[in-house]
Structure 1
Amino acid sequence: MTTYAGSTMKLRVAREVSPFGYFLSLGDDEDTEVLLHYSETNGVKVKEGMEVEAFLFHDTDDRLSATLKKPLIRLGELKRLAVADIHPRLGCFLEIGLGRQLLLPISELPELIDLRPLPGDEVFVTLTHDKSGRLLAKLAREEDLAKHVFPAPATWKNEWKEGWVSRTLQMGSFVVLDGGVVGFGAYGMIPAAERPEPLRLGQRVSARVTFVREDGRVNLSMGKLKQVGRIEDADRLLAFLKERPGGAMPYSDETPAELIKNKFGISKSAFKRAVGKLMRDGIVRQEGNWTKLLTEEEAAAFKAMADAAKAESAKAESAKAESAKTGAAPKQPAATERAAKEPASREPVKKASQKKPFPGPNRGR
């Protein structure tokens, strides 16, 4: 097979052969001609002798053919293409805008089936040839993407961005974030601990920029800010507790992280922050491996203690502010005042219960 496939060329219409279409001349030494079928003229009125801009490909019989339709990708280009179909042994078939699909071989896909793309996902690929000259998609590597991405601005920190997973590993998932009007996009990574589950190649994701590196790449997280996530997680746990018999659940700070992740879909740290908020609010308490809702009496007692502590704190702050105005030291408790008046040289008083040491064999003689 020739290597013309995948290229867009200006070719002369040599002749028309009904009922097939037009034969275009490649203009090579062998005077090779390719068929432009009537169905591939894309509405253009073709005549013998005129020049047309045609995209070359191989048909189902591996014959070099031409079309006047515009492909979504050309030879050597890097594009993001949608997955049209999947084959368990061959790989993924990608839509290229010509009414036919392009194969992304299974050798280019992750080994784990759960990490492979699904129809509707979009993957970054380049167009190349196989050993026989047929068109083939090749997954874009990091060095391929590096030529197109732009450095993320520092203002992106803590902003939510959307993108497509370009590579997924056990350690994390690499994502090309949408560039919008700025350009192709920016490159980032979601560490495994910052994603709720392993992500598929080509999956559409939304993630928060946690850090912008000096080279313009970014660290990402699919979790909310801790202060926001703590409130939402606490609400979810409270709703779960209220549905449980007796308002108790067999999960606490002592529960293994894996069990918490499987049950609530959050990390153990997030779980502890959420439970801690509920405990500070006087809503729950923990007993060993259990977390329980407080009874009305327990909640009332907790509120009374909290109000007293708050009043005492406010009183101390008020005294501190008053002393700052007058320049005097804040009044000390009576016991402290008495201790301050005692002379520093005074010997400590011996306790009445203190006993003299038992005389040894050489004592008292």
Structure 2
Amino acid sequence: MEHTEQPGLCRLHTLRVARIDKGGVWLEAGGRLAHLPRREAPQAVPGEEVEAFLYQDGAGELQATCRIPLAQAGQFGLLTVKSVGSHGAFLDWGLAKDLLTPYRLQPERMQVGRSYLVKVELDPQGRPFANARIDDCLDRGRPDLHEGDAVSLLVWQLTDLGAKVIVNHRYPALLYRDELPDGTIAGIELSGYVKRLREDGKLDVTLRKVGAEAVSDARDVILRALTARDGFLPLHDRSSPAAIEQTLGMSKKTFKKAVGGLYRDGLVTLADDGIMLTEKGSGQV
């Protein structure tokens, strides 16, 4: 019997146990049953839910495993080459069967022992493979994102300007060098925010919160810093961005907005050489 491609193949799902027999555990999967080896869920009982990775075997039958892969279909991951054969390179993605990267999808010939950033994709039969041609995998349409949205940033390449990153495993963006944490390498995933969606559809991203939420957080940071330093901080409008970043971990723009709000609320006073906590401000910490 020929089966059509099942939605959600090569992804993790929470599936209900339909029955258990000598052949193993059978999970409900979109109107079909997926086979899970009994040894992977020895305590499973009918009716309960199990988190499992769903895939098809060579005969097109649904199979499941409780092993968690390093990347799922539609995601990027930094995977290590275990072997090279006549059809391409085989990558370790955390499952029993290695993942093939065909030669035509390798910008450079992959070498055993080295790690490469790839995207896990499915062929028309629902079989997984890896694509190392990252440029071809990215969505260059206008993102359905807004300023301040929390996003994942997967580091793709380091450049003179900073790091090329993949936003939410989908869109390209650049994270500037002054924001990169020490020791950043390709394959690291960072938590970030949308800084701006430009008119040309490209994204500006940052590791810092933006907008009103960033200013609100900055107010708390400044008040705590003032309290810890006996009510005075030697920072002001003329302070360098580096000094503000080093002391408070925020941009000068955010610092100025937060201090302006604290001053208007009567929580701080301003002096030529810094800012001082008021009695009212002391009660806010």
- TM-score normalised according to structure 1 size: 0.41
Q: 1:81 aligns with which of 78, 82, 101?
A: 78
Written as runs of structure 1 = structure 2, the 5 A alignment for 1:319-334 is none
2:227 maps to 1:242: yes
What is the letter of the counterpart of residue 134 of structure 2? L
Question: Hey, what's the Cα distance between the residues in 2 that align with 1:285 and 1:269?
Answer: 19
Q: 2:195 aligns with which of 202, 210, 216?
A: 210
Q: Hey, what does 1:320 align to over in structure 2?
A: none
Written as runs of structure 1 = structure 2, the 5 A alignment for 1:1-365 is 80-82=77-79, 95=92, 97=94, 128-129=109-110, 137=115, 144-158=133-147, 159-179=149-169, 185-192=170-177, 195=179, 197=181, 199-212=184-197, 217-245=202-230, 247-295=231-279
Instruction: Assess if the C-alpha contact under 8 Å between 1:79 and 1:126 holds in 2.
Output: no
How far did 1:265 drift? 1.0
Q: 1:261 to 1:285 in 2, by over 3 A?
A: same
SS of alignment partner, residue 167 of structure 1: strand
Q: 1:263 to 1:170 in 2, by over 3 A?
A: farther
Q: Hey, what does 1:11 align to over in structure 2?
A: none
Question: Hey, what's the Cα distance between the residues in 1 that align with 2:244 and 2:189?
Answer: 26
How far did 1:154 drift? 4.1
Instruction: Assess if the C-alpha contact under 8 Å between 1:128 and 1:135 holds in 2.
Output: no
Higher strand share: 2
What is the letter of the counterpart of residue 128 of structure 1? R
Q: Which ranges of structure 2 fall in alignment gaps of 5 or more residues?
A: 1-57, 59-68, 82-90, 99-105, 119-131
- TM-score normalised according to structure 2 size: 0.51
Q: 1:285 to 1:151 in 2, by over 3 A?
A: same
How far did 1:284 drift? 0.9
Q: 1:289 to 1:215 in 2, by over 3 A?
A: closer
What is the letter of the counterpart of residue 229 of structure 1? A
Question: Hey, what's the Cα distance between the residues in 1 that align with 2:223 and 2:246?
Answer: 18
How far did 1:191 drift? 2.8
More moved, 250-259 vs 271-280: 250-259
Higher helix share: 1
Q: Which ranges of structure 1 fall in alignment gaps of 5 or more residues?
A: 1-52, 54-70, 85-93, 102-124, 180-184, 300-365
Q: Hey, what does 1:310 align to over in structure 2?
A: none
How far did 1:155 drift? 2.5
By relative contact order (CA 8 Å, sep 6+), the higher-ranking structure is 2
Q: 1:276 to 1:196 in 2, by over 3 A?
A: farther
Identity of aligned pairs, percent? Answer: 22
Q: Write out per-residue CA displacement over residues 110-165 of structure 1, whole angstroms, 9 at most, x where no aligned residue.
A: xxxxxxxxxxxxxxx867256xxx6755667xx93121112354431222221310
Q: Write out per-residue CA displacement over residues 172-228 of structure 1, whole angstroms, 9 at most, x where no aligned residue.
A: 22111234xxxxx221222345x3645432211122233445775422122222222
In angstroms, what is the RMSD of aligned CA positions?
Answer: 4.0
**Number of equivalent positions:** 182
Q: 1:278 to 1:213 in 2, by over 3 A?
A: closer
How far did 1:234 drift? 0.9
Question: Hey, what's the Cα distance between the residues in 2 that align with 1:293 and 1:197?
Answer: 31
How far did 1:271 drift? 1.3
Instruction: Assess if the C-alpha contact under 8 Å between 1:207 and 1:223 holds in 2.
Output: yes
